[in-house]
């Protein structure tokens, strides 16, 4: 799902007057509709100065969002006012009823659009994982953000779409500071680096696990670390959950869920790190 809305529409009516402002907003929404169609998407509805659209893939949503911003950047000023939009999109299950869409996926996309500022595109961590590697390389990690209406914090990424020297420099910095290549692991007296010839590393009490865990609260097949492109994700598969503490952040509990590993931190199996007898320590670089 994708939401795009015109920024500052209320002030446009005050500055331009009703008819010129309405014409300016419609010109913006026309660019949004064309971008949706260019990626095979469907406009679900227009709500005032906002458009809601649906796509078949996360990649199509991302490309459409970037196209919207590029189109807007080329629009002429209206009475010396530069028009702008903000975009949020999320890829996940939704409910459809008579051509309209409902559910948590829709709400998440709307919240992401609400978080974005003028000329920005925001997406979720779940969507980032569904994007091809070449599109993930243009994401900036905004960390976990508390979102109204959601119990847990939402992992948010900004899509960098501008083709400028500054933007190129920013993406280059992210490639070195945000995108992880090597993953070092230490548990007990054992140390290893994520094997270059593997894409999945299993963690648990099972003797056949790639990394055997002695923690009593750990499941036989407790969790796994997956390499996706140049990033690593922790995936919980356990009964008691997996605790993750990234240095500088608070500890979180994963239950049949997954999250991006970044920086350095501690993974505990079935019990909080403060009470754990054996935790796994990791460092991405």
Structural domains in the chain, sorted by start: 2-177 (3.30.70.1230), 183-284 (2.60.200.20)
**Global model pTM greater than 0.85:** no
Those residues with Cβ within 8 angstroms of residue 133's Cβ, 6 or more apart along the chain or in another chain: 228, 229, 230
CA distances (Å), origin 94, targets 36, 61, 104, 114, 151: 18, 15, 7, 19, 18
Q: Mean pLDDT in runs of 10 for the chain (285 residues)? A: 93 91 95 96 94 95 95 90 94 91 92 92 91 86 70 82 53 42 90 88 94 94 86 90 92 89 93 94 89
Q: Which helix (H) or strand (E) holds 31?
A: helix 18-38
């Amino acid at each position: 799902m994708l939401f795009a809305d015109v920024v500052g529409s209320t002030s446009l009516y005050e500055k331009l007057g009703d008819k010129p402002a309405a014409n300016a907003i419609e010109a913006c929404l026309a660019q949004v509709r064309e971008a949706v169609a260019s990626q095979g998407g469907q406009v679900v509805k227009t709500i005032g100065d906002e458009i809601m659209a649906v796509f078949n893939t996360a990649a199509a949503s991302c490309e459409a969002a970037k196209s919207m911003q590029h189109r807007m950047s080329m629009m002429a000023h209206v009475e010396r006012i530069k028009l702008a939009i903000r975009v949020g999109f999320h890829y996940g299950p939704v409910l459809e009823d008579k051509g309209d869409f409902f559910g948590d996926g829709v709400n998440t996309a709307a919240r992401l659009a609400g978080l974005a500022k003028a000329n920005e595109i925001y997406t979720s961590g779940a969507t980032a994982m569904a994007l091809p590697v070449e599109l993930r390389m243009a994401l900036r990690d905004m960390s976990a953000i508390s979102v109204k209406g959601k119990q847990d914090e939402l992992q948010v990424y900004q899509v960098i779409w501008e083709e400028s020297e500054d933007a190129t420099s920013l993406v280059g910095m992210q490639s070195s500071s945000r995108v992880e290549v090597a993953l070092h692991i230490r548990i007990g007296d054992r140390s290893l680096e994520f094997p270059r010839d593997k894409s999945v590393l299993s963690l648990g009490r099972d003797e056949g696990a790639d990394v055997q865990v002695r923690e009593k609260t750990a499941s036989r097949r407790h969790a796994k670390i997956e390499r996706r492109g140049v990033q690593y994700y922790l995936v919980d598969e356990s009964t008691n959950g997996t605790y993750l503490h990234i240095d500088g952040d608070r500890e979180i509990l994963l239950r049949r869920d997954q999250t991006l590993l970044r920086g350095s931190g501690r993974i505990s199996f079935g019990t909080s790190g403060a009470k754990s007898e054996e935790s796994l320590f990791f460092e991405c670089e």
